[in-house]
Chains A and B, each alone.
Chain A
Amino acid sequence: MYKLVPSVCSYCGTGCGVLFEVLDGRILGTLPLKTHPVNEGKLCIKGWNLHEYVNSFMRLQAPRVRINGRLHQVTWDRAIQFAADRLKKVIAEHGPDSVGVLASAKITNEENYLLQKFARAAVGTNNVDHCARL
């Protein structure tokens, strides 16, 4: 019914430990994880408000594709197919170096490895950068 769930802040790459207050499956609030080696019980304003975007009515909960200027909710398969088709078209028309890939501080090392592999092997470009430099 009521529990506190330890997690890692999803905002920046620092990786602060947070604790979600969950009552009947709904997140009520966020606390800093006092014993976490990274943040030692401290958080910035974004971490303190992590629960707000989870509960936000503006949060996207399904993929959307822009067709004729309007966003349409579609299945994941359709969205991925749409992205793949457009990427192929761009590469065919303007060459692989017209594509760049931005990796993320918020995904795992292995996922970042896959992302650069996708850029170099599948797309054929060295345009790989990271969100921590933005």
Chain B
Amino acid sequence: MSAPRTWKRPPFIERPLLRWGLITGGTIFLLLSIGTMEVNWERVAAGLPRAERFVASFFPPDFTSKSSDIWEGIVESLWMTVVSTIIGILLSIPVGLGAARNLSPRFVYLISRGILALSRTFPEIIIALFAVKLFGFGPFAGIIALSIGSIGFYGKLLAEDIEDMDPVQAEAVKATGASWFQWLNYSVQPQVMPRMIGLAMYRFDINFRESAVLGIVGAGGIGATLLTSFGRYEFSSSAAILLIIIGIVMAVEYSSGYIRKWIQ
């Protein structure tokens, strides 16, 4: 028997039944969802000139006429971010330690994992919605929401990082007769620190982005200013705010890379 003369690329999913099942299922779902999507094309067409005006308002954006509102909102977003990131991380350290399987007894492990799962379930904005009901309008509600979100995010990653650490070093420090806190401080902490600092910067970044939308539900920050400017169709002010948000996010991202390099 001679070898086949033509070559065919092997399919991405090996099992034909699974492959065709996925393809047909996906297509049916797609058709259904497109079919049920109601698009009011007249409204879309009516919106196009407005879209044009919106894009045009980026050239140039209007930083000046609402400058005091914008400045206030941005600064509020920034200190909300600082406070909530610090509170969130401080609270997530005990929870993260508790949620590391190699560190804590089963009972503590389950409780901590439960706390993490609970705080990660709902998006920050839904937590903020309730925080506003409980604590009244203003940045405090936003800080509560962001802190809860940070606990879930940071605690989970801390726990996973501790679970992945090198047990040999931990054992070596334990063999010197170190107390539990000394052991934590000299064997666990140095191993997880570089990555955790990077993640803290990343969380700061996330919290800033989130704080920009919390104002929509009345939880403080630049979002309220942005919402107002959209509501009044003052697009050039909105463009200015969006550009400032993009600029700050880029600055944080760039500096976090720099700080991470400096620490390692």
Do chains A and B interact in one complex?
no
- Interface residues of B, Cβ cutoff 8 Å to A: none
